[in-house]
Amino acid sequence: MNTKIDSWDTRLLCVVTLVLFESYLDSSEIQAVTCISEQRKDLDNYAQSASLNYETFQRKWDELHAALLELIKDIEGKAKFECTQMIHSFKLENISVNLELINRMKQTKDVSFHVQMAIQDKVVRKIHGDNQYGHEPVFTEKLKYTLVYINEPTILACKLSMPDKSVTWRHDNKKVEETETVKFVDKKCNHWLAISQAHSTDTGHYSCSCGKSSTTAFLQVLENPLKITEDLHVATKDKDVRENMDIILCCKINLHTNKVIWRHNGKEIKCDRHHASFRQQEHQLTIQNAKFEDDGKYMIDFGAVTSCTTLYIKGNLNLLLKNQLAEDLYKNWVRGALGLKYLKLGLEAFSDNIVENHHSKILTTLLSTGNTCAKCSLEFLLPLHKKEHCPKPSKCLCSKQPRKRNKCPNGGFCSKFYDLILWDHRFKDPLLTNTNIQKWSSDPWSVATCYISTPGYEDRKSAKEVDCAGLLSIFINNIFFHRSLGDVEIDGETDLFKKVHVNIQLR
């Protein structure tokens, strides 16, 4: 390894970075390094021609400024603060070059030598002749770019070459007056502008002048990034939370804000039993008279920052119920209920998958007919099949006022869709009160619910929203489900699905 890496110029450092570490950099970092490398090449060109107008400088500076800030985004703590401060100071510090230095620079077109000359002549400070101002004080330590967060204190400091209390402070060319939060302090050659609580309006250019000498720097006041100081947790004294209790969830942050959203299982909480409150930097969510439905994941959302916790609601069993559960009869009921619960869980994922496949197969079959329709209704739709070929004319749409009905205007899309649903039904008797015909082309479950034998399942979106009896009904009635199960006997009369379905209805 080259141990004299500090002797390399910027272009070489960029090349080495891209060659050795490109696979470790994200696209924005690669773009930033490339930007710096290209601007380093431009320096040679502009040194050759000695032409760089202000508009070109401004455009190129903005690109370089953004590139430098991008490369320090992963630095943490004080180092990031110092890097940010330095990058801003590149543009904000006044730089004056005397004629002698300019003439010396013109003697060579090597940018590296130009940089060395600038460093040797300390162009970061204003250059004055030895006797230009006589014995007037000059600033030996200048104001520096300062970054501070809202409501935090900050001090702007500078130093004169000799003691002098007649200094003037200005903010964006307006004279600064002392207030309860802004004070001037001086001691011998040192001068300070102290701000006890910075506000966004304090952002701007600050200058301190004494006679003909002055120094200027920029103060940047930013909003303090919000941080979680205490994660979301159950603050109720009894951590063993149960139904009918009042439960308190609590989270603490480092700022004062009421811009917050509470979520339960991903959905924004809008319930009368849930009350959100905050005091200073502590936010609370009170769940009154907790129910089993309150069980789940809770999130407090401040925008860019969130915190989560999971709440488990336990049953509040009284003594009578405990005694009943000890009896064999009640045990059997509990076992039966749990059995149905786990049966439904086992059927859910499979059902969602087969419903999607069935819907996809129907759309593929109808590809030549059309691909969508939102105009037809069950009141006026006429099936595509002829009445004399209908397996159940007494219940089919083809026999219900056929003169007032018309085939789907979109190439017969809905009419053919109805026929496919009908022929896939084991008993050729789909229950249309469970469906919305205008969603057939887009919603697989609006088709699946046609195979449930009892009403009340309209607008269901997934197997999770359908109870165990409804899922079993689909397995029994939908022939496509039967085919997807493989070598499983289903006749809708004596099979296991029918037996379980009957038992559920008896319960």
Q: What is the pLDDT of residues 77-127, one digit of tens each?
A: 777 777 776 776 665 555 666 777 777 777 777 777 777 777 776 664 433
CB neighbour class for 467 (10 Å; exposed up to 12, middle 13-18, buried from 19): middle
Residue 69 near residue 35, CB atoms below 8 Å: no
pLDDT confidence bin for 497, thresholds 50/70/90: confident
pLDDT confidence bin for 73, thresholds 50/70/90: confident
Cα–Cα distances (Å) from 141 to 158, 208, 215, in that order, read 5, 11, 9
Q: In what order do the strands lie in the sheet with 168-171?
A: 146-149, 213-222, 204-210, 168-171, 174-175
Strands 146-149 and 213-222: parallel
Helix (H, G, I), strand (E, B) or coil at 277: strand
* Alpha-carbon span 77 to 74, nearest angstrom: 10
The chain-wide mean pLDDT, for the chain, equals: 84
So what's the pLDDT on residue 313? 85
Residue type, 402: P
Cα–Cα distances (Å) from 207 to 5, 141, 169, 224, in that order, read 38, 13, 6, 25
- Average confidence (pLDDT) over 477-487: 90
**Whether residues 496 and 353 fall in one domain:** yes
So what's the pLDDT on residue 7? 63
So what's the pLDDT on residue 94? 59
**Whether residues 162 and 232 fall in one domain:** no
Closest listed residue to residue 162, CA positions, set 193, 133, 139, 185: 139
Residue carrying the six token digits 């197997």: 463
**Whether residues 109 and 151 fall in one domain:** no
pLDDT confidence bin for 179, thresholds 50/70/90: very high
So what's the pLDDT on residue 1? 46
Residue 161 near residue 138, CB atoms below 8 Å: yes
* Alpha-carbon span 348 to 470, nearest angstrom: 11
So what's the pLDDT on residue 239? 66
- Average confidence (pLDDT) over 218-228: 87
So what's the pLDDT on residue 13? 83
Structure-block tokens of residue 184: 């001037």
So what's the pLDDT on residue 414? 93
- Average confidence (pLDDT) over 202-206: 94
Q: Residue 10 falls within a domain, yes or no? A: yes
**Whether residues 350 and 414 fall in one domain:** yes
Domain that holds residue 403: 343-506
Q: Cα–chain-centroid distance for residue 52?
A: 42
**Whether residues 421 and 489 fall in one domain:** yes
**Whether residues 350 and 464 fall in one domain:** yes
Left if phi > 0, otherwise alpha if psi is -120 to 50, otherwise beta: which for 303?
A: left
**Whether residues 358 and 406 fall in one domain:** yes
Strands 213-222 and 228-234: unpaired
- Average confidence (pLDDT) over 435-445: 93
**Whether residues 215 and 251 fall in one domain:** no
Looking at per-residue confidence, does 315 or 480 come out higher?
Answer: 480
The domain total for the chain is: 4
So what's the pLDDT on residue 128? 37
Residue 217 near residue 145, CB atoms below 8 Å: yes
Q: Residue 322 falls within a domain, yes or no? A: no
Say which range, 145-159, 229-243, 275-289, 384-398, has the weakest mean pLDDT. Answer: 229-243
Whether the predicted pLDDT of 341 surpasses 80: yes
Can you give the pTM of this predicted structure?
Answer: 0.39
**Whether residues 415 and 432 fall in one domain:** yes
So what's the pLDDT on residue 371? 72
Residue carrying the six token digits 């009350």: 275
Give strand pairing partners of 184.
Answer: 193
In percent, the amount of the chain with pLDDT more than 70 equals 87
Whether the predicted pLDDT of 130 surpasses 60: no
pLDDT in tens, 372-418: 888 899 999 999 998 888 988 888 999 888 888 999 988 899 999 99
So what's the pLDDT on residue 342? 85
So what's the pLDDT on residue 421? 95
**Whether residues 179 and 64 fall in one domain:** no
**DSSP at 223:** P
So what's the pLDDT on residue 478? 94
Count other Cβ atoms within 10 Å, centred on residue 151. Answer: 14
Whether the predicted pLDDT of 169 surpasses 50: yes
**Whether residues 247 and 217 fall in one domain:** no
Q: What is the CATH number of the domain that holds 215?
A: 2.60.40.10
